[in-house]
A and B are shown apart, each in its own frame.
Chain A
Amino acid sequence: MDSSVQTVIHVRRLIKRFGLKTVLRGLDFQVSQGEFVALLGPNGAGKTTFLRILASLSRPSIGEVRIAGYQLPNQAAAVRRRLGVVSHLPLLYGDLTAEENLRFYGRMYGLDNLDHRVIEVLDLVGLLARRRDLVRTFSRGMQQRLAIGRAVLHDPEVILFDEPHTGLDQDACAMLDRVLREVAARGRTVVMTSHDLARAADLASRFDVLSRGVIAASVQRAEINPNDLLAFYRQSLQEIKQ
Chain B
Amino acid sequence: MKPETAIVTSETRPTPRPLSSFLRAMGAVIWKDLVAELRSRELLSAMLVFALLVIIIFNFALELDPKTRAGVTAGVLWVTFIFAGTLGLNRSMAIEKDRGCMDGLLLAPIDRSAIYFGKAIGNLIFMLIVEIIVLPLYSLLYNINLFKPGLMLVILLGSIGYIVVGTLLATMAVQARTRDILLPILLFPVALPVLMASVKASNGFLQALPMAEIQPWLNLLIVYDIIFTAVAFMVFDFVVEE
**A226 contacts B by Cβ under 8 Å:** no
Which of B15-23, B48-56, B64-72, B137-145 is the interface stretch? Answer: B15-23
Within 8 A of A (CB), among B18-56: 20-21, 24-25, 27-29, 31-32, 35-37, 39-40
**B7 contacts A by Cβ under 8 Å:** yes
26 residue pairs bridging A and B, Cβ less than 8 Å apart: A57-B106, A57-B107, A57-B241, A80-B108, A81-B14, A91-B100, A91-B103, A93-B99, A95-B40, A96-B35, A100-B35, A107-B24, A107-B27, A108-B108, A111-B13, A112-B11, A114-B12, A116-B9, A117-B12, A120-B9, A125-B1, A126-B1, A126-B2, A154-B13, A155-B12, A178-B3
**Quick one: given A81-B109, A95-B36, are A120 and B100 in contact (CB under 8 Å)?**
no
Which of A57, A59, A179, A183 is in CB contact (< 8 Å) with B1? A179
A residues in contact (CB < 8 Å) with B: 52, 55-59, 73, 77-78, 80-81, 83, 85, 87, 89-96, 100, 104-105, 107-114, 116-117, 120, 123-126, 134, 150, 152-155, 175, 178-179, 181-183, 186, 188
**B57 contacts A by Cβ under 8 Å:** no
Cα A59 to Cα B238 in complex, Å, equals 10
Cα A166 to Cα B110 in complex, Å, equals 29
Residues of B within 8 A of A179 (CB): 1, 3
Which of A58, A150, A154, A188 is in CB contact (< 8 Å) with B12? A154
Residues of A within 8 A of B25 (CB): 107-108, 110
Most chain B beta carbons < 10 A, residue from A91, A110, A124, A134:
A110
How many residue pairs between the two chains, A and B, have CB atoms under 8 Å in the bound complex? Answer: 144
Nearest Cβ on chain B to A77's Cβ, whole angstroms: 5
Cα A89 to Cα B95 in complex, Å, equals 13
Cβ A182 vs Cβ B7 within 8 A: yes
Nearest Cβ on chain B to A71's Cβ, whole angstroms: 15
Residues of A within 8 A of B110 (CB): 77, 108, 110
Nearest Cβ on chain A to B107's Cβ, whole angstroms: 6
Residues of A within 8 A of B100 (CB): 87, 89-91
Which of B11, B27, B109, B241 is in CB contact (< 8 Å) with A78? B109
**B208 contacts A by Cβ under 8 Å:** no
Which of B8, B16, B105, B242 is in CB contact (< 8 Å) with A59? B242
Cβ B15 vs Cβ A124 within 8 A: no
Cα A90 to Cα B21 in complex, Å, equals 24
Which of B8, B16, B95, B241 is in CB contact (< 8 Å) with A110? B16
Cβ A188 vs Cβ B7 within 8 A: yes
Which of B8, B16, B28, B39 is in CB contact (< 8 Å) with A81? B16
Cβ A59 vs Cβ B241 within 8 A: yes
**Quick one: given A105-B108, A109-B108, are A186 and B7 in contact (CB under 8 Å)?**
yes
Nearest Cβ on chain A to B113's Cβ, whole angstroms: 12
Residues of B within 8 A of A83 (CB): 107
**B101 contacts A by Cβ under 8 Å:** yes
Residues of A within 8 A of B103 (CB): 55, 57, 85, 87, 89, 91
Chain B 189-227, CB within 8 Å of chain A: the 1/0 string? 000000000000000000000000000000000000000
Nearest Cβ on chain B to A114's Cβ, whole angstroms: 8
Cβ A110 vs Cβ B11 within 8 A: no
Which of A90, A93, A109 is in CB contact (< 8 Å) with B36? A93
Cα A7 to Cα B28 in complex, Å, equals 34
Cβ B11 vs Cβ A183 within 8 A: no
**B61 contacts A by Cβ under 8 Å:** no
Residues of A within 8 A of B12 (CB): 111-114, 117, 153-155
Cβ A155 vs Cβ B8 within 8 A: yes
Cα A80 to Cα B107 in complex, Å, equals 6
